[in-house]
Amino acid sequence: MTYRGRFAPSPTGALHFGSLVAALAGWLDARAAGGQWLLRIEDLDTPRNRPGATDAILRTLEGLGLHWDGEVRVQSRHLDAYRAALEALRVAGHAYPCACTRTEVAAAATRSGIEGPVYPGTCRDGLPAGRSARAWRVRVDDRAVGFDDRIRGRIVQHLESDIGDFVVHRADGIFAYQLAVVVDDAAQGITDVVRGADLLDSTPRQVRLQQLLALPVPRHAHLPLALNAQRQKLSKQTFAPAVELREGDGADDAAVPWLRRTLAFLGQPLPPIDAGRDALLAFATAHWSIARVPPRDSVVDG
Ligand code: GLU
């Protein structure tokens, strides 16, 4: 089977070092396997989108020399596909409507002595009298759901006790990330998911949805997170600096320091110091080894 990977940024702001780790590792893993690397813009959570962010992301990837294959898939153009998946789950009895507000979920969980945000199953057997549906949830059971991560090894969750029935269509009418991602990965024929370890926890839910919807389960590799000095994941919320590439002369070489830093973070050998962008990427592809990627998160400057 031909390798098909993807990079799936949300257009909530500019790329930062953390996004670069996912983009470069995914690109190298695909290129080293002679495969394809697809791009998807995850813009379903419309209140979080920022105008101009998609264009800025595409320009930055081009400036870094991380070219993608085929058309960019933009989630907001595929609402019918998510709707059809939700309908299939509903018809098969896997999804049910839920009336609970966040406060009610938290209160009911506390009453039943459940730790964390585990859904206590209030609406599982039907909506309480006089209440109407807000969200849709998928029913889970306590069978172990596991996968073999290429970096972290075997990961297992018991969805019922670890997560509870989870939301696939949100109370604000937005299809949940968990549902959209499995529909998209199948539609794009993705064989390999390479992404940050912040999503490690989501993967068993995605595997479960793939089982319920009879979709292929891709291989997974969850990358270490880049943390700031306060040990927070770099993100727009923690004010991670944007990857900025100078325009004009030598723009390609503006990518070099960012790419070298990212390769070092990923535990890969560095090319000769005078290598330009394309030579650096060729060297990194030839030497790429996922076995050298450290499984632990680490602190980076800025
Ligand atoms: N859109 C997600 C993010 O930016 C990534 C989703 C994924 O790779 O599955 O964190």
CATH at 87 = 3.90.800.10
CA 73–ligand 1 middle distance (angstroms): 13
Regarding whether 122 and 153 lie in a shared domain, the answer is yes
Kindly report, residue by residue over 174-204, the tens digit of the pLDDT. Answer: 999 999 999 999 999 999 999 999 999 999 9
The last residue of one of the domains, among 175, 209, 228, is: 175
Regarding whether 141 and 93 lie in a shared domain, the answer is yes
**164 burial type by CB count under 10 A (0-12 exposed, 13-18 middle, 19+ buried):** buried
How much of the chain exceeds pLDDT 90, in percent? 80
CATH number for 284: 3.40.50.620
Which residue is closest in CA terms to ligand 1's atom 5?
8
Regarding whether 223 and 129 lie in a shared domain, the answer is no
Q: For ligand 1, what atom is nearest to the CA of residue 202?
A: 9
**Would you give the end-to-end CA distance of the chain in angstroms?**
40
Q: Does pLDDT of 302 surpass 70? A: no
Regarding whether 294 and 197 lie in a shared domain, the answer is yes
Side chain identity, residue 238: T
Regarding whether 213 and 68 lie in a shared domain, the answer is yes
User: Is 42's C-beta closer than 6 angstroms to any atom of ligand 1?
Assistant: yes
Regarding whether 16 and 152 lie in a shared domain, the answer is no
Regarding whether 295 and 212 lie in a shared domain, the answer is yes
Regarding whether 196 and 147 lie in a shared domain, the answer is no
Regarding whether 288 and 239 lie in a shared domain, the answer is yes
- 17, 37, 174, 177: which to mutate for ligand 1, most atoms within 8 A of CB? 177
| Confidence band of 68 (pLDDT split at 50, 70, 90) | very high
Regarding whether 219 and 159 lie in a shared domain, the answer is no
User: Is 218's C-beta closer than 6 angstroms to any atom of ligand 1?
Assistant: no
User: Is 199's C-beta closer than 6 angstroms to any atom of ligand 1?
Assistant: yes
What's the total number of domains in the chain?
Answer: 2
Token pair 């991602």 in the structure block, residue: 181
User: Is 167's C-beta closer than 6 angstroms to any atom of ligand 1?
Assistant: no
pTM over 0.85: yes
**Nearest alpha-carbon partner for 161 in 204, 103, 220, 219:** 204
CA 156–ligand 1 middle distance (angstroms): 20
The last residue of one of the domains, among 154, 175, 196, is: 175
Q: For ligand 1, what atom is nearest to the CA of residue 195?
A: 8
- 10, 45, 203, 235: which to mutate for ligand 1, most atoms within 8 A of CB? 10
Note the pLDDT of residue 249. 57
Using an 8 Å Cβ cutoff, are 8 and 195 in contact?
yes
- 42, 147, 219: which to mutate for ligand 1, most atoms within 8 A of CB? 42
Regarding whether 191 and 58 lie in a shared domain, the answer is yes
**Can you tell me the distance from the alpha carbon of 27 to that of 38, in angstroms, rounded to the nearest whole number?**
9
Note the pLDDT of residue 235. 83
| Domain span holding position 165 | 79-175
Q: Over the range 199-224, which residues count as b (16 or more CB within 10 Å of their CB) and which as e?
A: bbebbbbbbbbbebbebebbbbbbbb
Note the pLDDT of residue 248. 59
The last residue of one of the domains, among 158, 175, 192, is: 175
Regarding whether 92 and 53 lie in a shared domain, the answer is no
Please give the average per-residue pLDDT across 287-296, as a whole number.
96
